[in-house]
Amino acid sequence: MVGEARAISQSVLRKSRLFGQSHWINGAKQFLRDLLDIVEPHIQHGSKASSSMKRCKRLAKATKAQWAPPWPPPPTSKLPPKSVADILVACYLRTTETVYRPLHAPSFRKDYEAVWAAGLTPDTAFLVQLKLILEIGAATYDKQFSLRTSAVRWVHETQTCISDPEFKTRLNLQSLQTNALLLIARQKAGQDPYSEQQSIRGCHRDPEALIPSHLVIFNDDQLMVGDALPVPDDTLDLRATFPIRLMITEFLNNFGSCGTYEETLRLGGSLRAVVYKELCQNLQRHISRAGLSPSRFQIQVVDFIMIRYMSALHVPFFIPALHETTYTFSHKIVIEMSLKIWRAVWPSSQLIPTPPHDNAILRLDEDDLVRLTISGSEFFGTATMQANLVAATTLMSQVQVESGLSPAPLRSDLLAAINDAKSWSPGCIEVGETNIKGHVLLCSAAARIRWTHQGTKEELIPGNTS
């Protein structure tokens, strides 16, 4: 019935993979189909576009082959110079560690300094852990991700170590920390985030099914002193949002999930009006307190994660909202959250000054989130791509429904996002993104919006969309 909300399932089957409703392709499927119908005649076998795409694929394979060391790479004690390692560790400690906290930082610093002590043989298990930390830190080390080849090798060495059949020797806290770090390091590879080590240690069990115990939270530094007081529970702000985020993930991506719009609104209301509001209030209190307060990076990442969940929840209803007013609220939320995501990873030059040198080492945390997104972190990168496609779909819908004699002005914020994305995607390629389809897609989308807005008939649109 017209105006009646219905259940919508938009999982996408691609070859042997099933993409859930939170995947970036959702929210732009119809736009992509229309775009491919126009572009496909120009990329037939033997065309210039086809040969260029094939050449890019060959270059991508060659590039990946240069990065990957021979398998299995034996673990070695070889490390970068201490001056470089210090910066990489600092990059990790001020970014990933401040958000996810897989390590006990004081113990790590002590063991790290011992690695460089003369006459001491470093512990192999700690070296493996250290190399993962160096790999994660390399993503924000410099603008060009110049240590990518070393970073890939460090991850491969870790995978060699944890594949050792003597698994019982690794049933300890350090090994669990290493597995957690490996999941973070492999995030951009899109591999299964579940860890068998966590299952062995009982971390897969529902806490309610475990033996009752008393849990007291301390800061890492407090564990090194005698009479330490536990920190307030409200300092675990991101962890407190886990239940609602898990509910949303299951609602969207469980196999055969077909949630109703009423349930979407209920979950969205709980996330936005209760959880997110309380999270923002807690962060504001931390900022106003004397002493340590959240870093800019911490606030950015926490906000990005929450915005991503709010957007993903409403994306399945984004395309239907173009034709049915029932889903207008979802359409508004998706556009609003997409713009927030884009502004987070592409801040205005007036807000963040450009470094004097392109390859300048990061100072403090001024560009960590921007650089992390460009360097290939899957969570941030795919969310950004989806935000760009949402902007493109919205603009294309606007120009298609125009009925005036002269073109109506397009939304300047969405148009700016699309044009800026054409500059953002080459930056990703420069630091190691080997798939150029995203850049081609963004350029094609911008070209089609421009030509359609100008009233050009589709058959007259040039094949060159760059």
Task: Inform me whether the pLDDT recorded for 265 exceeds 90.
Answer: yes
According to the model, what pLDDT value does residue 454 have?
A: 78
On whether both 421 and 310 belong to a single domain, the answer is yes
305 and 408 together in one domain: yes
- Averaged pLDDT score across all residues of the chain: 78
pLDDT of residue 58: 93
How many CB atoms are located within 10 Å of the residue 466 CB? 11
Least confident of 15-24, 202-211, 305-314, 401-410: 202-211
- Give pairs for 234-238: CB < 8 Å, separation 24+: 234/282, 234/285, 235/286, 237/279, 237/282, 237/283, 237/286, 237/302, 238/99, 238/279, 238/302, 238/305
Residues 87-109: pLDDT tens digits?
Answer: 999 999 999 998 888 998 899 99
> Residue 385 falls within a domain, yes or no?
yes
Q: Evaluate whether residue 17 is within a structural domain.
A: no
- Token code pair at residue 33: 């189909």
3-state secondary structure of 12: strand
Residue 89 sits at the vertex; the CA angle it makes with 87 and 91, to the nearest 5 degrees, is 70
Query: Which residues have CB under 8 Å from 21's CB, separation 6+?
Result: 9, 10, 11, 252, 253, 257, 312, 315, 316
With a cut of 90, say whether residue 341 has pLDDT above it: yes
Say whether 36 sits in a helix, a strand or coil.
helix
Domain that holds residue 143: 82-224
What pLDDT score was predicted for residue 314? Answer: 92
pLDDT digits (tens, 9 = 90+) for 28-81: 676 777 777 777 776 666 678 788 888 999 999 998 888 888 877 878 888 999
Q: State residue 244's pLDDT score.
A: 92
313 and 432 fall within a common domain:
yes
Higher pLDDT, 436 or 72: 436
165 domain residue, yes or no: yes
31 lies in the same domain as 138:
no
Confidence of residue 214 (pLDDT cuts 50, 70, 90): very low
- How far apart (Å, rounded) are the C-alpha atoms in residues 420 and 445? 13
- Give the DSSP letter of residue 359: T
Which range, of 76-80, 192-196, 401-405, 447-451, averages the lowest pLDDT? 192-196
**Do 33 and 144 belong together in one domain?**
no
> Which of 182, 209, 224 is where one domain is finished?
224
Among 171, 202, 224, give the residue marking a domain's end. Answer: 224
466 is a domain residue? no
Check pLDDT > 50 for residue 122.
yes
Instruction: State the residue for tokens 């801040």.
Output: 347
Q: Are residues 33 and 104 in the same domain?
A: no
**Domain count within the chain:** 2
Domain for residue 57, yes or no? no
Cβ neighbors of 344 (< 8 A, separation 6 or more) are 300, 303, 304, 307, 369
The whole-angstrom separation of Cα 378 and Cα 397 is 28
> Are both 29 and 93 inside the same structural domain?
no
C-alpha to C-alpha distance for 311 and 323, rounded to whole angstroms: 19
The identity of residue 385, as a single letter, is M
Q: Is residue 11 part of a domain?
A: no
254 vs 12, more confident: 254
Please state, in angstroms and rounded to a whole number, the distance separating the CA atoms of residues 321 and 331: 6
Whether 383 has a pLDDT exceeding 70, the answer reads yes
Percent of the chain having pLDDT more than 90? 23
In a domain, 185, yes or no: yes
Q: Are residues 118 and 213 in the same domain?
A: yes
The tens digit of pLDDT for each residue in 170-185 reads: 678 888 888 889 989 8
- pLDDT at residue 370 tops 80: yes
Is residue 69 included in any domain, yes or no? no
Q: What is the pLDDT of residue 233?
A: 53
Last residue within a domain, chosen from 224, 240, 260: 224
Regarding whether 303 and 156 lie in a shared domain, the answer is no
pLDDT of residue 76: 84
Which pLDDT belongs to residue 437? 85
User: Rounded distance, CA 36 to CA 444, Å?
Assistant: 9
Looking at the structure, tell me whether residues 220 and 312 fall in a common domain.
no
Look at residue 430 in the predicted model and tell me its pLDDT.
87
Q: Looking at the structure, do residues 86 and 33 belong to the same domain, yes or no?
A: no
Q: Above 70 in pLDDT, residue 207?
A: no
Same domain for 303 and 204: no
Q: How confident is the model at residue 356 (pLDDT cuts 50, 70, 90)?
A: very low
pLDDT for residue 86: 96
